[in-house]
């Protein structure tokens, strides 16, 4: 679903676990108004390095002194599994952060999510449809990241290459990666033109979003061109190859932050991380910017057009077994997190909120260390964001199969043609499509 709203840079378009039903009282559809102090729990991950949860909890408490939001931390890598176990044991959090859209229906089908269709959302918020199942909302978005292109201005200058101008297609990106690598080598630098992280998103996300493909259809031939060009980049040495990245457990933060690569396709969440790491010294000090992600076709490239990218929202849902007395407080928290006040709190720490408008963008780019150039503001505020994961009970299984395709192709163990054929057969036989 696409949502349009005005932004400082122009028009913006934002566009398998098994849950056991647990015992306990089911929240009523007509929750009682809260009276007196209430404490609600909120799940999160990597709490020491992911400040958004405490930021929203503190901001909400400041506006609602009678409600305290306590954080319940989980390991990021095992988040869904651990939350699922707690829910099954009847000790789950009151508010469940939906880390990955592909698991929304898993929680919903397990009877673990409360209907929150009555939570009012502001006009222009992105990602709301990702939490709807058969017309009922089971969560609300509070952040909406989109993929953009980070680039190191110092390395571009060292290689003598012009910065991105917002008009790039993938052909332009590939040419720049080659020219940067060659120019940096000539200048005595070991840095490469680009770094692409190991995730399947770095190939399939763009292919899905920019070709309007639907992974639920079971036809994955559209992936071929995207893999062919990425394989060419690593084979020609213009980016670190998949096997080297895997063997050395390279991080995208380290490769870009330590100036080992001049370009990095990555989600907007990295803005806050890079700012923090440059301030702490974990990343080098250098001037950087963001540009629109390269486009498949030139008709969506350029500052007069709306670039197409991808990204999933992150949202909050309510445990269906929450105490009746806490329901209203929990719904109020969801409404706050999605509101402009919540968006301002997130923008102030460099987190991309689901709601973007002129005021929020001004706050976001006012963060110390954030880039201030017009192209960065355009890239952040102007895009058509397609979801990476359709809301379906089959999404997680299909993405697992496509993840196997990605590893096989990028590691060189299987050709893209054979891998596509294998994936299509597996989806048909293991998942089944209507």
DSSP string, 317-360: EEBTT--GGGHHHHHHHHHHHHSHHHHHHHHTTT--BS---HHH
What is the predicted pLDDT for the residue at 394?
93
Nearest to 21 by CA among 104, 108, 102: 108
> Residue 114 to residues 98, 121, 132, 309: CA-CA distances in angstroms?
13, 16, 12, 31
Distance between CA 399 and CA 91 in Å, rounded?
29
CA dihedral of 38, 92, 315, 214, whole degrees rounded to 10: -160
Between CA 156 and CA 91 the distance in angstroms is 52
Residue 34's pLDDT band, with cuts at 50, 70 and 90, is very low
Q: How far apart are CA 271 and CA 283, in angstroms?
A: 12
pLDDT digits (tens, 9 = 90+) for 37-50: 999 999 999 998 88
CB atoms within 10 A of CB 264: 26
User: 3-state DSSP call for residue 203?
Assistant: helix
The chain-wide mean pLDDT, for the chain, equals 90
Q: Per CATH, the architecture of 147-309 is what?
A: 3-Layer(aba) Sandwich (3.40)
- pLDDT interval class at 90 (50, 70, 90): very high
**Per-residue pLDDT at 330:** 98
Residue 300, sorted as left (phi over 0), alpha (psi -120 to 50) or beta, turns out to be alpha
The residue among 78, 131, 66 whose CA lies nearest residue 102 is: 131
Beta bridge pairs of residue 68: 39
**Which H or E element spans position 308?**
strand 308-310
Per-residue pLDDT, 18: 35
pLDDT at 398 over 70: yes
pLDDT tens digits, one per residue of 286-334: 999 999 999 999 999 999 999 999 999 999 999 999 999 999 999 999 9
Q: Classify 245 as helix, strand or coil.
A: helix
Mean pLDDT of 215-236: 97
- Is the pLDDT at 12 greater than 90? The verdict is no
Query: For the whole prediction, is pTM greater than 0.75?
Result: yes
Confidence of residue 183 (pLDDT cuts 50, 70, 90): very high
Query: Which two three-digit tokens encode residue 134?
Result: 């058969």
Q: Is 71 helix (H, G, I), strand (E, B) or coil?
A: strand
How many Cβ atoms sit within 10 Å of the Cβ of residue 423? 23
Contact 85, 92 (CB under 8 A): no
Examine the pLDDT at 29 and tell me if it is beyond 90.
no
Q: How far apart are CA 119 and CA 89, in angstroms?
A: 27
The tokens for 239 are 């980016």
Q: CB atoms < 10 A from the CB of 157, how many?
A: 14
User: How many other C-beta atoms lie within 10 A of the C-beta of residue 2?
Assistant: 12
**pLDDT > 50? residue 431:** yes
What tokens does 234 get? Answer: 């690593």
| Other CB atoms within 10 Å distance of the CB of residue 287 | 12
The pLDDT of residue 50 is 86
9: left (phi over 0), alpha (psi -120 to 50) or beta: alpha
User: Can you identify the CATH homologous superfamily of domain 4-146+311-386?
Assistant: Periplasmic binding protein-like II (3.40.190.10)
- Do 143 and 307 contact (CB within 8 A), yes or no? no
128 vs 387: CA distance, rounded Å: 11
Map out the domains of the chain as residue ranges: 4-146+311-386, 147-309
Nearest one of 213, 198, 259 to 409, comparing CA atoms? 198
**In CATH terms, are 4-146+311-386 and 147-309 the same topology?**
yes
What band does 32 get if pLDDT is binned at 50, 70 and 90? very low
Tell whether the model's pLDDT for residue 388 goes beyond 60. yes
């Amino acid at each position: 679903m696409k949502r349009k709203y005005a932004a400082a840079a122009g028009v913006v378009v934002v566009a398998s676990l098994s849950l056991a039903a647990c015992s306990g009282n089911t929240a009523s559809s007509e929750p009682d108004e809260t009276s007196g102090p209430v404490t609600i729990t909120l799940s999160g991950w990597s709490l020491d390095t992911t400040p958004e949860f405490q930021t929203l909890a503190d901001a909400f408490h400041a506006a609602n002194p009678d409600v305290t939001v306590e954080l319940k931390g989980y390991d990021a890598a095992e988040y869904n599994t651990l939350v699922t176990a707690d829910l099954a044991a009847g000790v789950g959090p009151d508010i469940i952060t939906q880390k990955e859209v592909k698991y929304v229906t898993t929680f919903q089908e397990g009877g673990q999510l409360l209907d929150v269709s009555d939570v009012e959302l502001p006009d222009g918020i992105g990602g709301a449809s990702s939490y709807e199942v058969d017309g009922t909302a089971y969560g609300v978005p509070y952040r909406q990241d989109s993929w953009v292109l980070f680039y190191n201005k110092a390395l571009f200058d060292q290689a003598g290459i012009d910065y991105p101008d917002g008009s790039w297609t993938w052909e332009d990106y590939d040419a720049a990666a080659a020219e940067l690598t060659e120019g940096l080598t000539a200048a005595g630098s070991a840095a490469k033109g680009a770094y692409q992280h190991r995730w399947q998103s770095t190939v399939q996300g763009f292919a899905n979003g920019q070709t309007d493909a639907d992974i639920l259809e079971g036809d994955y031939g559209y992936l071929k061109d995207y893999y062919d060009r990425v394989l060419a980049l690593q084979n020609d040495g213009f980016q670190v190859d998949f096997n080297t990245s895997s063997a050395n457990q390279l991080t995208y933060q380290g490769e870009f932050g330590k100036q080992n690569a001049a370009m990095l396709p990555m989600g907007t969440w990295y803005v806050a991380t890079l700012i923090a790491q440059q301030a702490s010294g974990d990343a080098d000090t250098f001037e950087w910017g963001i540009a629109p992600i390269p486009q498949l076709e030139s008709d969506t490239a350029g500052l007069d057009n709306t670039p197409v990218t991808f990204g999933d929202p992150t949202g909050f849902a309510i445990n269906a077994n929450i105490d009746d007395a806490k329901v209203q407080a929990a719904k109020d928290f969801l409404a706050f997190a999605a509101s402009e006040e919540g968006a301002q709190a997130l923008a102030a720490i460099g987190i991309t909120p689901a709601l973007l408008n002129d005021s929020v963008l001004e706050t976001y780019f006012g963060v110390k260390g954030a880039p201030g150039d017009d192209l960065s503001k355009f890239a952040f505020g102007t895009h058509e964001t397609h979801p990476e994961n359709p809301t379906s009970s089959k999404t997680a299984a299909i993405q697992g199969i496509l993840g196997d395709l990605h590893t096989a192709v990028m590691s060189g163990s299987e050709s893209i043609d054979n891998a596509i054929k294998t994936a299509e057969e597996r989806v048909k036989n293991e998942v089944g499509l209507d």
